[in-house]
């Protein structure tokens, strides 16, 4: 069975595209952060998601690896879509969501990056009143998407997986959903 990683920066609409695509797909949907939280809780290390950040980097790394192993394990039963970040924008820079030790355990078959034009993302973020998101200029948004492309290509070289770019432009959600659905249905 397949392990597919789907990611997109905030405002790319990756979650929406994924939700619609899952209606027509025989894939189990897994959120990487949720799996990490479950493992942290089972080990008695954390109560809720906020506690995760207070763990030492080594413990976080160990949980991250265990989560990858657990997801790979589940893929023996069904196809898995992992919803995660390609890179996370932090105050110290772009942090890869899938560093080498995660890739070694996860062994994904495909990375999907959901993208949109930077100005589309900017306007979606501004109008999304449900979340407080940092306001970024279009050039910062473009940079984040560029770094995600580079990171995903590195992921692909390390694992032999493919990188599929899905454009999710305004008023073209159906096109994006169709494109991701077709790519995920290929045997």
Positions in the binding site for a copy of itself (CB under 8 A) = 61, 87, 90-96, 98-101, 103, 109-112, 143, 146-147, 149-151, 153-160, 162-165, 182-183, 186
β-bridge partners, 82: 5, 30
β-bridge partners, 112: 6, 164
Closest C-alpha among 92, 85, 129, 112 to residue 166: 112
As measured in angstroms, the least distance from the Cβ of 28 to a copy of itself is 19
**Alpha helices per DSSP H over the chain:** 14-22, 32-42, 49-52, 57-74, 100-106, 118-127, 138-159, 173-185
As measured in angstroms, the least distance from the Cβ of 37 to a copy of itself is 20
Query: Is 45:159 a contact under the CB 8 Å cutoff?
Result: no
Which residue, 25 or 183, is less far from a copy of itself as judged by CB? 183
3-state secondary structure of 5: strand
As measured in angstroms, the least distance from the Cβ of 160 to a copy of itself is 4
The residue behind tokens 């990756």 is: 14
Which residue, 95 or 126, is less far from a copy of itself as judged by CB? 95
Q: In terms of residues, how long is the chain?
A: 187
Which residue, 20 or 164, is less far from a copy of itself as judged by CB? 164
As measured in angstroms, the least distance from the Cβ of 14 to a copy of itself is 15
Which residue, 149 or 178, is less far from a copy of itself as judged by CB? 149
As measured in angstroms, the least distance from the Cβ of 129 to a copy of itself is 29
Which residue, 41 or 109, is less far from a copy of itself as judged by CB? 109
């Amino acid at each position: 069975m397949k392990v597919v990683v789907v990611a997109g920066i905030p405002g790319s609409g990756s979650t929406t595209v994924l939700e619609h695509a899952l209606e027509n797909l025989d894939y189990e949907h897994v959120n990487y952060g949720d799996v990490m939280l479950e493992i942290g809780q089972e080990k008695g290390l954390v109560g809720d998601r906020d506690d995760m950040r207070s763990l030492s980097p080594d413990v976080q790394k160990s949980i991250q690896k265990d989560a990858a192993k657990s997801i790979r394990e589940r893929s023996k039963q069904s196809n898995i879509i992992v919803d995660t970040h390609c890179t996370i924008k932090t105050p110290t820079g772009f942090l890869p969501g899938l560093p080498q030790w995660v890739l070694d355990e996860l062994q994904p078959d495909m990375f999907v990056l959901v993208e949109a034009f930077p100005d589309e993302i900017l306007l979606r973020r501004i109008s999304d009143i449900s979340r407080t998101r940092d306001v970024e200029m279009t050039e910062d948004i473009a940079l984040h998407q560029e770094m995600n492309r580079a990171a995903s290509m590195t992921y692909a070289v390390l694992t032999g997986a493919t990188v599929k770019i899905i454009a999710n432009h305004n008023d073209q959600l159906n096109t994006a959903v169709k494109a991701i659905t077709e790519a995920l249905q290929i045997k």
